[in-house]
Chain A
Amino acid sequence: MTDTTILEINNISVVYSDVIQVLKGVSLVVKKKSITSLIGSNGAGKTTTLKAISGLLKPENGRVTDGTISYDGAAIQNHAPEVITRKGIIQVLEGRQPFKYLTVEENLIVGTAIRWRQPYKKDLEMVYNYFPAIVRRRKMLAGYCSGGELQMIVMGRALMAHPALLLLDEPSLGLAPMVVREIFEIIKKINAEQETSIVLVEQNANMALQISDYGYVMENGKIVMEGAARNLVENPDIKEFYLGMGASGVLKSYDDVKSYRRRKRWL
């Protein structure tokens, strides 16, 4: 492990309720200050991987049964989320889970839970700088905000904790393309300015790979492909199955019925 690595997952298996094995030997490395994206179809195990890192498997009766997760050189698998978050790993949950009955600003304040009793005024300003759209909603109940605003709230909430490693689970879920672009630009900006390492789990492979440095492709609880993001974008299989283009790189049309015969080469 070199000192440019912030997180290293080594061959982990995750089992839910002692029966359902979801991850079957996943290994990945996240470099400091980089954006690493994790793409794959539904049920591939992306979210589970994030939860294994952040310790949120525990409340769902899941467990890392094998392998190690090391963060800054220390093993953190199966630790409690309270411990892991205090080391600087914050996960932004899938599907935007705001505190509906708290105001936007209170939502952000919850982000300071890991360093309770320290001043946070400056951080609020920082978050509002990144997400100017939510400033005018400050005093409103978060439950009444729109989807894009909610995404900003939950990301801002995570930023309040000054994470060294930010785990983003599908930030584009159910958002309009324009909002998606805006959010991804902000992610890029956060990464550049705050020097936060980011792991990005996405269905929207195109957007994700555009802003990432490195990418992993997951299927059926395994990593099936990895590489620098710009190489992945060029890969014919990725193009075919995740970017919605024919192998040649042009947008696929439904007339082109033969294309589905192409086999995924890694299977």
Chain B
Amino acid sequence: MRKLNFHPCGNYKERYEQEITLFETDFGRLWSGIGIFSLFAILPFIVSPYFLHVLNMVGIASIAAIGLNILIGYTGQISLGHGAFIGVGAYAAAILATTLNVPFIITLPMAGLISAMVGMIFGIPSGRLKGLYLTIATLAGQIIIEYVLVHWETLTKGTMGITLPRPNIFGMELESDLSFFFLIFSCLVVMIWFAVNLIRTKYGRAFIAIRDNDRAAEGMGIPLFRYKLLSFGISSFYAGFAGAIWAYYMVSITSEPFTLGLSVEYIAMVIIGGLGSVSGSIYGAVFITFLNELLRWLTGIMMNIGVLTESGLNVAPLREFFFGTAIVLFILFEPRGLAEVWRIIRSNFKLWPFAY
């Protein structure tokens, strides 16, 4: 058996492979193995149905958030159109499934690809624009897509929405939250695996180079436009994929959720989780989804005791307020997000009791 790797007490890296290795120690490997095992074999069977539903939402949000993090956190292109791309994926899946009767197993990646194409179209401005101007262009993209989703009635059925058939994998029908749980989280694991490895390749390094200094990256021979488009494409693929799963999970969709608010929610996830960190995207998705649920619960209680009567009929204002506050607080006090918080906690433990 090969020698086990433990945490070295210093930087003993000799080769680049050691620098980019996924698991620095064999404990990391062990722990992620245990984590995946308990995620699939234990967790879904011990939690309540409600909590299972929340977990599913977390899973879907995580997929989309990882996509956005590739674009914002790794490539440095700020996009306010992620919500719309999720919507494109959801509608693509719905239309493929209802009008063309495409089987479930194909609609998911197809929806991702369609969304990726749309994303690349709206990424074209990145060839000429950067920073603020690109952000504004994606804002316009968001609003235009939103408009198309509502008003192209022959295709999207407008405000009526579309009802999807039950997904079917090789004759197996997915209908319970539990079966969706397995679907969503296997997809998530694959997506994480892909994202983590993408960052270690030539493409990922090019993205990071573009983020850190696009002029220098261009000088090093990275074709900026192509890579930016690629990043938009990959990011929207994730969004579209997540949107498609979401559409199936929700059974019927309308264009209502895919607003600018959703885009902002996803950017909030990425920032709160930690820019430029795949695991951060997941923390962010967990945080925001749980915050959502917590606030729903809180408004429920407050309505019952009568604090909120007329204005508190829905959860929106509170949610809006706490979202904003969370974003602002994180940016002001821990701009590197939960991933950084977690890293600090971990290294404190590692060094304890000699924390320095």
Q: Is there direct touching of A and B in the complex, by C-beta distance under 8 Å?
A: no
List A residues at the B interface (Cβ < 8 Å). none
Query: What residues of chain B have their CB less than 8 Å away from a CB belonging to chain A?
Result: none
